């Protein structure tokens, strides 16, 4: 007979699940989204394949991820996230094997399409949906904790990929990541996540959330939310590729640009850590407001050429760090746990497609208008996002709005 109180056992189980998902998120991001930044130049040099196509494999993968995300949300809503996330590990692992064995560019690109299936079924949106399906309205703290893990993905996987590249080459690196997905991530999903989810997970708290608001009000709120998430994705994915170009355009040496660019990661993690401590005291809409405000300040400061570049990058990093949290917690607070996984799949679709296209559009802007011109466009988009999110907050908290005041 167990001497552990039921509540304590449940909390331990919850922590185990969040930790397992945190570890697998680091693996998933490192095996997919963050991989080309390290291996692409070597792949192009060794094979003779055009660098644009080598890097473009990720964009095509993100496009596939966006197209399947609504179906991923439906699957998680119906059956929970265990099998969906396990499938994601299988596809990412299989795609990595395809990359390692690719004899030509066609097979290489096809392997990225397979990895795209894994990204659509296994990155943040699917993990958030899984936590929402498991814990209902109480998933907010779990989602925040998960993003704290995810913030270390590039910090861990970029040096790891570089080390593996030096030891076993890019094909060996891909095989290593395949083994990580198939032998570590896949078993973790199957062993740690529960087989089923109670069908009433979101019903108990339905009267506490925005879902109780009349449907005519929910529709414009969801549209605005989708637009703001997509704009945030456009800005972050563009700068993730072109930030060094932006910094070097002002005459900065490459080493200095790399050193300053590295400030973005710690700023993300720091902002998420602060949010984890204070989250219970405010509604997630205010996390979103601070997020878009910080991004607008950071990008606009870079565009105006302000001398304190580290401060601008710190604001930007904090903003995109908080955006990851808001993108998971705000829909849960606004619409409730019932249908949350399905909603996350729908919201992810335009965001992932935008992430697929944004780096190429950014490159075109750099070519036509220079890095300063690209920053001007991104700054304008960031300010538009501030207006949209501010309008969303006013819509939700205006006199007579229902449902939101009871959500914390």
Lowest mean pLDDT among 34-43, 106-115, 377-386: 34-43
Other Cβ atoms within 10 Å of 15 Cβ, number:
12
| pTM as predicted | 0.80
Residue 364 pLDDT exceeds 70: yes
The CA-based angle 271-275-281, given to 5 degrees, is 150
State residue 207's pLDDT score.
39
Question: Given pLDDT bands bounded at 50, 70 and 90, which one contains residue 211?
Answer: very low
Question: Which residues are CB-contacts of 48 (< 8 A; sequence separation ≥ 6)?
Answer: none
pLDDT at 399: 59
Pick 4 or 164 by higher pLDDT: 164
CB 226, CB 347: distance < 8 Å: yes
Question: What does 131-160 look like in DSSP terms, one character per residue?
Answer: HHHHHGGGGHHHHHHHHHHHTTHHHHHHHH
CA dist 269 and 275 (Å) reads 10
- Quote the CA–CA distance of 247 and 261 in Å, as a whole number: 8
Distance separating alpha carbons of residues 356 and 75, to the nearest angstrom: 23
| CA gap 185, 29 in Å, rounded | 12
Residue 56 tokens read as 């473009």
Coil vs helix vs strand at 251:
coil
Residue 1: is its pLDDT beyond 60?
no
What contacts 391, CB < 8 A, 6 or more positions away? Answer: 224
**For the chain, what percent of residues have pLDDT higher than 70?**
86
pLDDT (tens digit, 9 = 90+) per residue, 130-166? 988 888 878 888 888 888 887 777 778 878 888 888 8
Q: What is the dihedral of CA 393, 399, 404, 406, to 10 degrees?
A: 140
pLDDT at 175: 96
Which domains can be identified in the chain, with CATH numbers? 13-196 (1.20.1250.20), 217-397 (1.20.1250.20)
pLDDT one-digit tens code per residue, 86-114? 999 999 999 999 999 999 999 999 999 99
What's the full length of the chain, in residues?
Answer: 408
Residue 130 near residue 219, CB atoms below 8 Å? no
Q: What is the pLDDT of residues 289-303, one digit of tens each?
A: 999 999 999 999 888
The pLDDT assigned to 196 comes to 66
Question: Looking at residue 332, what is its pLDDT?
Answer: 85
Q: Does the pLDDT at position 168 exceed 50?
A: yes
Q: How many CB atoms lie within 10 A of CB 257?
A: 19
Whether residue 307 has pLDDT greater than 50: yes
């Amino acid at each position: 007979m167990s001497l552990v109180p039921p509540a304590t056992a449940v909390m331990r189980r919850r922590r185990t699940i969040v930790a397992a998902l945190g570890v697998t998120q680091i693996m998933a991001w490192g095996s997919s989204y963050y991989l080309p930044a390290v291996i692409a130049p070597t792949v192009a040099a060794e094979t003779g394949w055009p660098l644009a196509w080598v890097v473009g494999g990720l964009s095509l993968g993100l496009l596939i991820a966006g197209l399947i995300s609504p179906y991923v949300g439906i699957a998680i809503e119906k059956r929970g996230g265990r099998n969906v996330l396990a499938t994601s590990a299988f596809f990412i692992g299989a795609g990595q094997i395809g990359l390692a064995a690719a004899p030509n560019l066609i097979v290489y690109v096809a392997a990225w399409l397979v990895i795209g299936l894994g990204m659509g079924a296994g990155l943040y949106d699917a993990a958030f949906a899984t936590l929402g399906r498991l814990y209902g309205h109480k998933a907010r703290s779990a989602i925040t904790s998960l993003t704290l893990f995810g913030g270390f993905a590039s910090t861990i996987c970029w040096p790891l990929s570089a080390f593996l590249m030096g030891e076993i080459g890019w094909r060996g690196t891909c095989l290593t990541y395949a083994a990580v997905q198939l032998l570590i991530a896949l078993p973790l999903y199957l062993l740690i996540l529960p087989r089923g989810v109670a069908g009433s997970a979101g019903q108990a708290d339905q009267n506490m959330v925005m879902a109780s608001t009349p449907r005519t009000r929910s529709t414009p709120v969801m549209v605005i939310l989708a637009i703001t998430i997509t704009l945030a994705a456009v800005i972050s994915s563009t700068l993730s590729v072109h930030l060094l170009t932006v910094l070097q355009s002002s005459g900065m040496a490459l080493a200095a640009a790399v050193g300053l660019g590295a400030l973005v990661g710690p700023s993300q993690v720091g902002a998420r850590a602060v949010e984890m401590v204070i989250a219970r005291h405010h509604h997630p809409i205010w996390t979103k407001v601070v997020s878009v405000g910080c991004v607008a300040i950071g990008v606009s400061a870079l565009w105006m050429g302000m001398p304190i570049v580290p401060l601008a990058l710190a604001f930007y990093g904090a903003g995109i760090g908080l955006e990851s949290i808001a993108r998971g917690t705000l829909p849960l607070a606004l619409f409730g746990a019932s249908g949350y996984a399905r909603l996350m799949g729908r919201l992810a679709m335009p965001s992932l497609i935008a992430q697929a296209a944004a780096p190429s559009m950014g490159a075109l802007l750099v070519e036509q208008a220079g890095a300063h011109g690209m920053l001007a466009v991104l700054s304008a988009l960031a300010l538009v996002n501030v207006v949209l999110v501010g309008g969303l907050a006013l819509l939700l908290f205006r006199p007579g709005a229902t449902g939101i005041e009871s959500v914390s």
